[in-house]
Amino acid sequence: MIAFAALAPWIDILAKMAAGSIPPVQMSLARFALQAALLFPVVALTAGLRLPAPRILRLHLARGVLMALASVAFIAAVQAMPLADAMAIFFVTPLILTALGGLLLGEEVGWRRLSACLVGFLGAILVVRPSFADLGWVATLPLATALCFVAYILLTRRLSGSEGAVAMQAWSGLFGTLTAAALLVVGASLGWASFAPVWPDAGGWALMAGTGIVATVSHLFLVAAFARAPTPILAPLQYLEIVSATLFGYWLFGDFPEPLTWAGIAIIVGSGLFVLWREARVRG
């Protein structure tokens, strides 16, 4: 999970570098196409290609669709707003995971951790408010990303006992590619300028390829982590992404969070750390 948290912000950094030159849907399409192209040969060489059972295939389809929607929404967000702000809003994800870990997965989550999740959500509102004033509904795209990503991770937990990490990511790459391609075709046919495909220059191709490679490797780490440890343990560790996103956002783009955003980030991180501490104490 720590490796995922260190690598994942680079997906968004590369996407932000492409702002104004490559549409979010096209960036997502390139990402998932490269993911599928890299991983299906690995699956063929190591475990052999086979068509999963219908129930498993439906779960793969759902994961791919959810991940594509999450990717498009978050790329659109980071191309329009500071990286640290978008990442902080997105980080209601671990809190939702912790809460749903007890509700849907039967994992023990006490009232103290649920209360910490609620406090963390209030912190997210503090981060959303100044961004919403400047950008309108674009500021809520990280929240949409969080909801899609939570569902994606829960499906990952359901699949982890029947599919290997590489196969899971190969199939999500395939279905993510199909979803992004469908969005691109539909959006372009409706005349939406933000969906109009472009032919990138050499730098654009490098950004799309880099996004695909980093996304593939980081999400392999994510799948492996959730296959080996309970959700309430892993979820708070994702807060490390906020630290790296803030540092890289300032270094590369000159973005620095406003005081209200810092307050929200502190509340979100504090809630996550409390959840982690409480989980460790309960488990003895």
Give pLDDT tens digits for 165-205. Answer: 788 889 999 999 999 999 999 888 888 877 888 899 999 99
Mean pLDDT taken over the chain? 84
Looking at residue 68, its pLDDT comes to 95
Q: Are 147 and 89 in contact (CB under 8 A)?
A: no
Determine the pLDDT at residue 106: 65
Domain ranges, residue 9: 2-282
For the chain, what percent of residues have pLDDT higher than 70?
A: 90
* C-alpha to C-alpha distance for 124 and 56, rounded to whole angstroms: 35
Q: Which of 106, 100, 144, 152 is nearest to 124 (CA)?
A: 144
pLDDT mean over 54-67: 93
Sign, CA dihedral 181-185-188-190, equals: negative
In terms of Cα–Cα distance, which of 31, 137, 94, 119 is closest to 242?
94
Please report the pLDDT score of residue 36 as a whole number: 94
The pLDDT-based confidence of 284 (bands split at 50, 70, 90) is low
**Per-residue pLDDT at 209:** 93
User: What's the rounded mean pLDDT across residues 117-126?
Assistant: 83
Average the pLDDT over 101-121 and give the result.
75
pLDDT of residue 207: 94
pLDDT band, very low/low/confident/very high, at 104 (cuts 50, 70, 90) = low
pLDDT of residue 133: 64
Distances (CA, A) of 162 to 35, 156, 165, 176, 266: 21, 10, 10, 20, 38
Dihedral (Cα; 245, 96, 67, 159), 10-degree rounding: 120
Helix, strand, coil percentages, rounded to 5, for the chain: 85, 0, 15
pLDDT computed for residue 259 by the predictor:
84
Supply the pTM of this predicted model. Answer: 0.84
On whether the CB atoms of residues 90 and 145 are closer than 8 A, the answer is yes
| Residue of 238, 247, 260 whose CA lies nearest to 91 | 238
| 229-281 pLDDT, tens digit each | 776 667 667 677 777 788 888 888 888 788 888 888 888 888 877 877 776 67
Q: What is the pLDDT of residue 283?
A: 64
pLDDT of res. 208: 93
Selected residue with higher pLDDT from 227 and 87: 87
Q: Which of 134, 136, 156, 154 is nearest to 93 (CA)?
A: 154
Residue found under tokens 């109009």: 196
Q: How many distinct structural domains can be found in the chain?
A: 1
pLDDT band at 148; cut points 50, 70, 90: very high
Per-residue confidence at 40, pLDDT binned at 50, 70, 90? very high
